[in-house]
Amino acid sequence: MNIFIRKNDDDLLKYLDADEINNIKPFRKIIELNNNDINNDIIFSSGDKGKDIYLVAEGLLEIFDTNSKGKEIVIVTLYEGEIIGEVNFAISIKRHFSVRAKGKTKVICYSYKQLTDLMRKEKIIAAKINAAINDSMADKTIRITQKL
């Protein structure tokens, strides 16, 4: 059960009000990608140690992996407003899947260090972000396990 009310379409900041979001805006990084089958815009790869969280601001991302025979399998497609990287943000493990842009895509990278520094200072923001991350992990686990 969640005690917070959704206030916007951003899956990471969905429970934050405008003032709380303004505390986070200064350290977000916007990345523009254009995977047109010539360049392969990978956000991160399986085995990476990164802990940043990414939000799909425009376009689509694909979570994919390669099976034991070397065949690539698209596991899930992420749409505008969805986040990826939340498991690695919460638990210090290597990334399990690779993620790439599908066509023209814009993502927002939220730095692990900057976000956690803010969360240490702002307990209500921390609670709201943790609730949003929990929601996203639960939703994505269901979607991925249904695909597998």
Taking only the tens place, the pLDDT of each residue in 102-123 is 889 999 999 999 999 999 999 9
pLDDT band at residue 60 using 50, 70 and 90 as cut-offs: very high
Tell me the residue range of the domain where 34 lies. 18-147
Q: Is residue 116 part of a domain?
A: yes
Q: What is the tally of structural domains in the chain?
A: 1
CA 64 to chain centre: 14
- pLDDT value of residue 148: 65
pLDDT of residue 66: 86
Write the CATH number for 116: 2.60.120.10
- 1 domain residue, yes or no: no
CB 88 within 8 Å of CB 133: no
Give domain status of residue 58, yes or no. yes
Q: Are 106 and 58 in contact (CB under 8 A)?
A: yes
Question: Is 119 part of any domain?
Answer: yes
* pLDDT for residue 146: 78
User: Is 137 a member of any domain?
Assistant: yes
Q: Is residue 84 part of a domain?
A: yes
Identify the pLDDT of residue 36. Answer: 64
The pLDDT of 139-145, averaged and rounded, is: 83
